[in-house]
Chains A and B, each alone.
Chain A
């Protein structure tokens, strides 16, 4: 008898396990997939735009039914508030479902907000339990709302599109400093290094998809909604300027984070022929050095490349002077790229590569002395970049076709 009562109690208790205290069932929530935050310095108001998956439309697509195809699989909506958390809650006025934030993939910040200072905006993302520091962060050059509503032709939702485009650009071109919010927060807190956040450029209205709803078969003229390239330099939590594509690749080279990148060099034999080399592997090491008692920094970059475009003519033999010359020219290109980043970094007083942090880590006592005047020291410090490139492959073709045959 006692056993039966016990079993009954267990069964009754198990029933209560099916939901949490206030019964927030997933099917009644709207899942936020992308968040865009803008700040208006004139009014001091934050504007938040979120993109949610539309469960109604998504369900239709899965079922393959044409009936409910009127609805987009996602929906973007905006709200305003005096501080970021208030904007999150203000969204409730415009949405029929409670929002669920844990599936957020990308966090987009407007240029205006970045120039105003981002700490307030990211503090809430660290504090609020549903927001995750694992999301990708990007600074939007252009209208955030337009980006949130944009159609990514190959993807179901815009958020998916933005996240994929970031990943693709990062792997294929190293054009984007991919960093999660978590890393940015730790960069902001560490001495001697400034934040560098990737840039998303919103396509202008004229370039945008002409008539996504009206046109019957003219999908070929849909323009890409956004371009992922470049980055924003910060000083503290304020943005101070943009880096162009090459400077961004330079950052990826210097920090050893580049995946694949394309380098264009001229043929050592014939100045008019350009050769395309793809950098496939890259590793970078930095260390402080003392030359005659003066502090300097040495950056050693080791890269491996493969020839991808070879319109010229030259025998590709191991250790031959020709290959060596190609390697040297590639190394020179990489060095110039990194130098362009350092120049920009010095100009804007934003130590994005983290040379100061290097000194803090390796020479903590010295850092204490120069900490307060670091940006002045940074402007004159000797930075020695040594690049060593190995070209090991030439694709599936060994030597190019002889020039006389091409004539």
Chain B
């Protein structure tokens, strides 16, 4: 009965709606930030098709990530992993999830900081922006999941309206330049599939589901919630990919460091209304904030459960320092971040995070079902 040794430090509950907002915002932010459908492969004007394809492939991975969670609706991955494969192997395998969350926080924060430095605050030291975001995220994580859920409730309308407004402002320019979207699918499906690889693999973010599912109101429906979030985010991604490819052109779009940001910079709504990139940046900041707080909450809770700590909050301060430092030091420059998101690097790397722990746990679960033992048994 090892699992029961963990006192349930939190009985926090969030609504599935809040989970949806969180998942939607964290994914949308990153997939539109540097628009991997366009920049990571040769999909060019078919990037929107890559976006749609990436929904199906990502959904598959979501099922793998979250499928076990709804079979153990009361337990986090740390708890059910111990039940499935034993106390120490279970704990060890969860460290991979912690590692994944660590890298994801560091990367997301770093991309945001790089965007700010490139576009606005050219002389601001990078650690300042990174730590500002890490401190904000850790404050939210310290306050608990319910608080993050309420922030998501609050920020979601601002987030979505800022993005939609940017897209609406782009309509005149889009109608003028929509010829840049042709020829459609002229080079076969190869480029489309290659373009879908990186956005698919970024779904590793949803590894946080394995920690959040037990905290939702209706854990059994959490998978559906995650898929809806993914669908919404794919819709936004498709629209952004269409707008960017048309307005910047496929070639320029794929050469951009931050395509969506470049797109918004070109918009001129009227003689007096231009420079609307602040909208995109607001949305971006909010999205990163929600993402970082969720990952920090999940990461610290996972670590706390692995080492058998009663209160995860004691870990936030030390882990925040590690996260921030990692974010500053893991990439030398913007080129390295771009290299990291090369399909040949990020795909195997992230696939390992997802498939290695989940593969072992699913196998253990399957064997238990086949041998007739109840999965919930020790």
Task: Say whether, besides A21-B121, A129-B122, A186 and B183 are in contact (CB < 8 Å).
Answer: no
Which chain B residue has the least Cβ–Cβ distance from A131?
Answer: B265
Asked if residues B180 and A190 are in contact (CB atoms below 8 Å), the reply is: yes
Q: Encode contact with B along A166-184: 1 for CB under 8 Å, 0 otherwise.
A: 0000000000000010110
Quick check: which of A106-114, A329-337, A360-368, A381-389 contacts chain B, the rest being far away? A360-368
Which residues of the other chain, A, contact B12 by a CB distance below 8 angstroms? none
Asked if residues B252 and A362 are in contact (CB atoms below 8 Å), the reply is: no
Provide the bound-state CA to CA distance between A102 and B249, in Å: 22
Asked if residues A357 and B265 are in contact (CB atoms below 8 Å), the reply is: no
Asked if residues A180 and B249 are in contact (CB atoms below 8 Å), the reply is: no
B74 lies within 8 A of chain A by Cβ = no
Task: Say whether, besides A20-B121, A21-B121, A190 and B249 are in contact (CB < 8 Å).
Answer: yes
Which residues of the other chain, B, contact A365 by a CB distance below 8 angstroms? 186
Asked if residues A362 and B123 are in contact (CB atoms below 8 Å), the reply is: no
B133 to chain A, nearest CB (A): 15
Q: Encode contact with B along A182-204: 1 for CB under 8 Å, 0 otherwise.
A: 11011001100000000000000
Provide the bound-state CA to CA distance between A357 and B179, in Å: 9
With beta carbons under 8 angstroms apart, the residue of A20, A180, A185, A364 that contacts B252 is: A185
Asked if residues A182 and B248 are in contact (CB atoms below 8 Å), the reply is: yes
Q: Encode contact with A along B111-155: 1 for CB under 8 Å, 0 otherwise.
A: 000000011111110001000000000000000000000000000
A384 to chain B, nearest CB (A): 20
Task: Say whether, besides A132-B274, A364-B183, A189 and B266 are in contact (CB < 8 Å).
Answer: no
Interface residues of B in 243-280 (CB under 8 A from A): 247-252, 262, 265-268, 274-275
B177 lies within 8 A of chain A by Cβ = yes
Asked if residues B275 and A186 are in contact (CB atoms below 8 Å), the reply is: no
B311 lies within 8 A of chain A by Cβ = no
The interface size bin for chain B is: 20 to 34
With beta carbons under 8 angstroms apart, the residue of A182, A190, A357, A360 that contacts B247 is: A182
Task: Say whether, besides A182-B247, A186-B177, A132 and B265 are in contact (CB < 8 Å).
Answer: yes
Asked if residues B179 and A361 are in contact (CB atoms below 8 Å), the reply is: yes
Task: Say whether, besides A186-B252, A361-B179, A133 and B266 are in contact (CB < 8 Å).
Answer: yes
Asked if residues A20 and B268 are in contact (CB atoms below 8 Å), the reply is: no
A146 to chain B, nearest CB (A): 26
Asked if residues A361 and B182 are in contact (CB atoms below 8 Å), the reply is: yes
With beta carbons under 8 angstroms apart, the residue of B123, B248, B265 that contacts A21 is: B123
A215 lies within 8 A of chain B by Cβ = no
Asked if residues B268 and A180 are in contact (CB atoms below 8 Å), the reply is: yes
Interface residues of A in 1-36 (CB under 8 A from B): 20-22
A264 lies within 8 A of chain B by Cβ = no
A291 to chain B, nearest CB (A): 22
A317 lies within 8 A of chain B by Cβ = no
Provide the bound-state CA to CA distance between A126 and B263, in Å: 11
Task: Say whether, besides A134-B267, A364-B186, A189 and B249 are in contact (CB < 8 Å).
Answer: yes
With beta carbons under 8 angstroms apart, the residue of B124, B187, B247 that contacts A20 is: B124
Provide the bound-state CA to CA distance between A404 and B239, in Å: 65
With beta carbons under 8 angstroms apart, the residue of A20, A134, A185 that contacts B249 is: A185
Which residues of the other chain, A, contact B179 by a CB distance below 8 angstroms? 357, 361
Which residues of the other chain, B, contact A182 by a CB distance below 8 angstroms? 173, 247-248, 266
B257 to chain A, nearest CB (A): 10
Which residues of the other chain, A, contact B176 by a CB distance below 8 angstroms? 183
B46 to chain A, nearest CB (A): 12
Q: Encode contact with B along A52-78: 1 for CB under 8 Å, 0 otherwise.
A: 000000000000000000000000000
Which residues of the other chain, B, contact A361 by a CB distance below 8 angstroms? 179, 182-183
Which residues of the other chain, B, contact A183 by a CB distance below 8 angstroms? 176-177
Provide the bound-state CA to CA distance between A21 and B266, in Å: 26
Top 3 nearest A-B pairs (CB, nearest first) are: A186-B249, A361-B182, A364-B186
A to B CB contacts below 8 Å, 9 in the list: A132-B266, A134-B266, A185-B248, A186-B247, A186-B248, A189-B250, A189-B251, A357-B179, A364-B186
16 more CB-based (< 8 A) A-B contacts, given A132-B265, A134-B266, A361-B183: A20-B120, A20-B121, A21-B123, A126-B252, A133-B266, A134-B274, A182-B248, A182-B266, A186-B249, A186-B252, A189-B250, A189-B252, A190-B249, A361-B179, A361-B182, A364-B187
Question: Residues on B close to A: CB < 8 A?
Answer: 118-124, 128, 173, 176-177, 179-180, 182-183, 186-187, 247-252, 262, 265-268, 274-275
